[in-house]
Amino acid sequence: MAQQKTVSENKKIEEKKEESPMFDLGSLASTLQKELKVGRGDQTQSSISEEEFESRYFRTLIPGFDKLLKHGIPKGSNILLAGSTGAGKTIFALQLLMNHAKQGKKCLFISFEESKEKLITHMKDFGWGPESAIKSGNLKIKRYLTSDIYYKEERESDGVQAMMAKNSDHLMLDLEPFVIGDDGYKPDITVIDSLTAVASTFEGKEKSYRFYLERLFRFFENLGGTTFLITEPIDSPISAYYTGTEKYLSDGIIEFYNAKRRNIRESAIEVLKMRGEKHEKKIVAMNIGDEGIVVHPNQEVFSEIES
Amino acid sequence: MDIEGQLENLSDGTIVLLESQAENSMNASYAALDSLINKQGKIGIIITANRPYANLMSVYQQKGIDVNKILFIDCISKSQGLELGEGGNVLFLDSAEDLTKIALSIDGSISRIQANKFVMVDSLTTLLIHNPPQMLARFMHGVLTKMRMGNTSGVILSIDKQTDNEVRAEVAQLCDRVVKL
């Protein structure tokens, strides 16, 4: 009986062996190694028609990210990209601009920080080939100095309300001709890098900055495109991110984290707020690889994230 | 206790915590691999934080284990600056501390390998050297859940009485069987 059982078990084992086809594990290893860098290229499954989607929403086309949203980012929104230095905000913004510029959308990057040349070099380093998008005019990069948005002392003496009524703020005057353009250029997507740099010009004038921000948000709202505003938490009373003005004014907030644990650094991302759209409420893993950002929408991170 | 006897009737999806003395730990892994790969014909995904891929390949081949049926997730070679080489059934990760990438690799492997498969973690005790107990417990919980969802068998190697009690208890309660050698 015992022998019969053994024979029967052996038969089962033989059957199981036959069930396992040979697998090209070398090829799988190489695919997985690549996936850690470039993602799986999954697309969001939206429950609405593509036409309706196109009229109402916007995909970042950043691998994995769009899966954090039920449909996409509502068009015309002002979205904050918030997080500490080196967390991936600028790369995220450049990557989504490149993705859309390649699809024929008009994309504008306004930098108060890095030079145009440096930004183009970053894009080239990731292999995104920005040259043709720039040549076609679909991607425009404009650098401003923070001194371009100086705030005259004499104007402050008018009082903030008077300044608002005058509608003559320097940033507005500088931005309008560039953003809209003589040739009718009107961006579908605009990125401002960064509000932190803008805020630094208002040091000691918190109220003015708050009103200034309101006008800035309204300006982009009226343009009708989707705007991404990069911001960093800084240890200063002007840091509107923490005082809540930026949070309050924006339609959405995407938070970037850069956690360090022992010898490793982990990047993570979270959709903290997205008006008019359902989104995942969790912090998920993000990787900044050789070809740009990859978000892993189903993978939690194991480092302790402090927000 | 006879490990082959413990593992030979392992139905698909069964997960075992295999506890051995330090001096028997390699023998425990050989026996487990011989049973699961050579005898049962499963494909193995081995997370190694103990020995580098090149070394494991060599010793497994000497023990007659079919290394063509193993996908190695090597968490040690890169951090030790070892020569990684080209190709092979191996994913080199930066460090045994990078639990997020280890979890992503396991998840990617489980979902892609459509054959009878198992995951072997070698070992829980070594992962504890690199990671805080609570974090490792959370990681193991996530990995074991993904294994369950993918109906994947598993062998979690651990050194008896050398593994943090909290982590051991967490893992043991998620396993179907605890085998002490």
Say if the Cβ atoms of A32 and B90 lie within 8 Å. no
pLDDT of residue A3: 45
User: Chain B: nearest CA to A142, how far in angstroms?
Assistant: 37
**What was the ipTM of the complex prediction?**
0.71
Q: Give the pLDDT mean for A124-148.
A: 89
Interface check for A16 against chain B (CB to CB < 8 A): the answer is yes
Q: Distance between CA A208 and CA B44 in Å, rounded?
A: 63
Q: Distance between CA A115 and CA A119 in Å, rounded?
A: 6
Residue in the structure block whose two tokens are 């092979």: B88
- A242 vs A278 pLDDT, higher one: A278
Contacts of B133 (CB under 8 A, 6+ apart): B164, B166, B167
Chain A residues 247-266 within an 8 A CB cutoff of chain B = 261-264, 266
Q: Which domains does chain B show, CATH number per domain? A: 3-173 (3.40.50.300)
Interface of B with A (CB under 8 A): 8-9, 39-43, 68-72, 79, 87-92, 94-95, 97-101, 103-105, 107-109, 112-113, 115-117, 130-131, 135, 138-139, 142
Residue A286 vs residues A179, A218, A260: alpha-carbon distances, Å:
32, 32, 14
Q: What predicted TM-score, i.e. pTM, was given to this entire model?
A: 0.77
Interface check for A222 against chain B (CB to CB < 8 A): the answer is no
B21-76 per-position pLDDT tens digit: 888 888 888 988 998 899 889 999 999 999 999 999 999 999 999 999 999 999 99
- A14 vs A36 pLDDT, higher one: A36
Domain A47-296 -> CATH class: alpha beta
Residue B94 has pLDDT above 50, yes or no: yes
DSSP per position, A144-173: --GGGG---HHHHTT-HHHHHHHT--HHHH
Contacts of A36 (CB under 8 A, 6+ apart): A287, A289, A294, B91, B101, B104, B105
Which of B39, B78, B100 would you mutate first to test chain A, the one with the most A CBs within 10 A? B100
User: Chain A: nearest CA to B108, how far in angstroms?
Assistant: 7
- Among residues B53, B151, B47, which one has the least CA distance to residue B106? B47
* CB-facing half-sphere around the CA of B116: CA atoms within 13 A: 20
A173-188 per-position pLDDT tens digit: 455 555 566 566 788 9
